[in-house]
Each structure stands twice: as C-alpha cells, then as structure tokens.
Amino acid sequence: MEYRNIGNSGLRLSAITFGAWAAGGWMWGGTERKDAVRAIRASFDEGVTSIDTAPIYGQGDSEEIVAEAIEGLGRDKVQIITKFGMRWNLAKGDLAMKSRNNRGEAIEVYKYAGRESIIKECKDSLRRLKTDYIDLYQIHWPDSTTPIQESMETVAELIKEGKVRYAGVCNYNTGQMKEADKYVNIISNQVPYSMIKREIEKTVVPFALENNKSIIAYSPLERGLLTGKMLPGHQFEEGDHRANLYYFRDENLEKVNSFLNSIKHLADDRQASLSQLVLRWTIEQPGITIALAGARNAIQSVQNAKAINVKLYPDEINFITAELNKLELVR
C-alpha cells in the first residue's frame, strides 16, 4: 500500500481508503453486518489502514460497524475519518432529503452544523466508534443556515480538547474552503470525482494544489458504474439510490462499457480488473491524494486494495484520458 500525507499535516492515509457508506446499508438496499466487518478487516490485512464513515450512513450503523471491525487492531494502527452536519434526528438547518432508514421508516435529513449540534455529534460518534479521538473530522455538506466561522471554530475547540486531530471539509467550493481555512487549518476537501465526474478539475483541484490541500475523492468507481460489471437491464434492490441516477440508464451503461472495453487491454496486461485500473488512474490525477473505495464484502475490499499494485506509465494514463474525453453520456 502507498501512504500519503494529507495537506500540510502529519496525518498519513492509505492511498486507497475504505469508504463505509455502503457498509452502513442506507440508500444501498440494506446491509449485512458480518460481511461489512469482514470487508474492513480484509482490507486492513492488505494495508488499507484508513476508513471513512459518517453518522448518517445507516444512522449510526456504519460507525458501529467500523468500531467492531477495528477492535483489537490497535487504535494507533488505523485512521478514522468521519463527519458531522447531517442530522436525521433534528429538524434544523437545510432540508437535504426525505428518505427511509434501514428499517424502512421515513426520515428527514437536514444539513445543520451549528455549534451545539457539532459538539453532540462528535460525542455520539466517539461513543459509536468506541474511541477517544477522530483522526479527521469533516463537515459533510455546506449548511447555508450556519456561518462557516461558527462551524469551524467549534471544530477548532474539539481539536484543542484532543477529541479531533485534524479538520477537513466535504463538498465545499473554493470560496467556502478559503472561508473555513480562516478559522481552523483545513487539510482536505472530500468531493465526488470519477472518470465521468471531473468538474472539480476546473477550480477545486487548482486551488488544492496551490494551497497544499488534499483532495479525497469519493465514488471513484461511480457507485459501481466503472467496474464493467453493470449491464443494460440491471435491476437494483429496493431502496438502492442508484436506480434513479441517469448514469445507470441502459444507453449510458452501453456507452460506459464501450469506453471500458477500449482500455481493458491495459488491465489485462497487468492481470488486473477494470476496477483496479480505474482506481489507479484516479489516484494518479493531479491533486487527487486519496480514493475512497467502498465494499460490501471481503472479496470486493481486497480487490480494491490491490489496485495499488497496478502501475501505469504516463503515456498509458494519457491514453486512458484521451479515450475518456470521447465519452458523452446522455442526461
């Protein structure tokens, strides 16, 4: 595994980090707890020491699964990344969505990052994770109802108290990152980035490179779309959010799979999977420090971890990007 420094901090994360959204089940059609625990432990055995989770993932389930999975590994051997600012049990802030929890009950999710809420969320996360500190604490989404200053000064307090080591943000634009950085050292921005979602290359990536901030890319496999395993006519389980995304329309599945076939020979040459090739390309892109890779079982998590063994030459990276630039999806 490769380990990379995050921003200007002393925090080092595994270049492939375990993304525990799907492990929490919420919006993924449920979860099998034992499989999720095995997935995290199997990835750790492959050198994946960093795990990204959030309270909203399964409304606490994901964080509890992470705690169970890392028990006995040694707290200093793993890096826990979690978030705040998505409340399903407090109707305050911006309404983000109406959803259902893992039991099928209706819930309303709010983006809220007021001081008292962050303090409570941190306490609850520490309890669920069975730890006394969080390595990287991130605001999950911007909250238009709370000043960034209030949110970030609260995280700075948590750092002084030793409950948090470093501060990060998620889904922030460059203006929001500049503002947040005034009140606490922001070392990273976790944003969506994949072969078919490259908008951040225009502004967020240049800002990160110029200001020594790391980008943690989430959904680099675009929720399974870039694995080459999803064919037209694919049926999602009830509650799986992907069923409503335009990427997964049959015509787009055909286009994406055609692109993947055009680069498959590079994976075959290395006896690697398309998923591994995609992950390696992702962490080779300028400004992309970490790729989050989710898995719901040990086979998937081990395959993701082994993506680090795929080596690409500059001309091969350029070839992949050139083929990618020809891809046009239908909205």
CATH of the domain at 206: 3.20.20.100
Is 48 part of any domain?
yes
Contact 204, 173 (CB under 8 A): yes
Buried b (16+ CB within 10 A) or exposed e, 120-157: ebbeebbebbebebbbbbbbbbbbeebebeebbebbeb
Contact 132, 149 (CB under 8 A): no
Is 330 part of any domain?
no
Is 20 part of any domain?
yes
Give the largest Cα separation in the chain, rounded: 54
| Average pLDDT rounded to a whole number, residues 214-231 | 90
The string of pLDDT tens digits covering residues 171-208 is 999 999 999 999 999 999 999 999 999 999 999 999 99
Is 52 part of any domain?
yes
| Residue 172 appears among annotated catalytic residues | no
Pairing status of strand 288-294 against strand 12-14? unpaired
Buried b (16+ CB within 10 A) or exposed e, 244-274: eeebbeeebbebbbebbebbeebbeeeebbb
The string of pLDDT tens digits covering residues 281-331 is 999 999 999 999 988 889 999 999 999 999 999 999 999 999 999 988 888
Is 331 part of any domain?
no
Is 286 part of any domain?
yes
pTM score > 0.85 for this model? yes
Name the active-site residue from 57, 112, 166, 172. 57
| Average pLDDT rounded to a whole number, residues 239-267 | 87
130-144, 239-253, 291-305: range with lowest mean pLDDT: 239-253
- Can you give the residue range of the structural domain that contains 54? 3-325
Q: What is the band of 26 on the pLDDT scale with cuts at 50, 70, 90?
A: low
Of 297, 294, 304, 224, residue with least CA distance to 36: 297
| Mean pLDDT across the chain | 93
Is 298 part of any domain?
yes
Is 232 part of any domain?
yes
Give the count of domains, the chain.
1
Phi, psi for 96 (deg, rounded to 5): -90, -45
